[in-house]
Copies of this chain bind each other. A is one copy, B any other.
Amino acid sequence: MEKTNALSAFAALSQPLRLEVFRLLITRGEDGMLAGEIAHAMDVRQNTLSANLSVLLHAGLVRNTREGRAIRYFADTEGLRGLLGFLLQDCCGGRPELCQPLIEDLTCGC
C-alpha cells in the first residue's frame, strides 16, 4: 500500500457513517449487503449512502458486484490487511522489538 492509498483509507474511516458501514460489512463477510439494505440499516438516504460507499470503494476498503438491478457490497479484507500492513511496516523503523509486542497482543476479541 502506498502513502496515498493509506491517506484515502484513513480519511474514509474517519467519518462516522462510513466507519459504521465498514464495520457492518465486515461482520457480513462474504454475504455482503445490498446498497438498499445498508441504507435502511443505517437510516440514511440512498444518495447519501451511495456517496459514502463510493469513498470506501475508492479507498480500497469495500468491493461491489451487481445483482440484477441491485448492487451488493462487501468489505475488502485485502484492503484492510494492506492498511494494517502499511501502519505496521512503518512502525518498526529498524527496531523489530517495537513491533513484536504490538503484533503479538493483537486479537480480534472473539
Q: Can you spell out 30 A-B residue pairs with CB atoms less than 8 angstroms apart?
A: A6-B13, A7-B13, A7-B14, A7-B16, A10-B10, A10-B11, A10-B13, A10-B14, A11-B11, A23-B90, A26-B90, A26-B93, A27-B90, A29-B93, A77-B98, A77-B102, A84-B106, A88-B107, A88-B108, A88-B109, A89-B108, A89-B110, A91-B108, A92-B110, A95-B110, A96-B110, A99-B108, A99-B110, A103-B103, A106-B106
Q: Which residues of A contact B (CB under 8 A)?
A: 3, 6-7, 10-11, 13-16, 19, 23, 26-29, 77, 80-81, 84-85, 87-96, 98-100, 102-103, 105-110
Chain B residues, CB < 8 A from A6? 13, 19
**Bound Cα distance from A85 to B100, whole angstroms:** 15
Chain B residues, CB < 8 A from A19? 3, 6-7, 10
In the complex, which residue of chain B has the Cβ closest to the Cβ of A3? B19
So how many copies of this chain end up in the complex?
Answer: 2
Give the shortest distance, in Å, between A105 (CB) and chain B (any CB). Answer: 7
A92 and B80 contact, CB distance less than 8 A: no
**Bound Cα distance from A84 to B80, whole angstroms:** 11
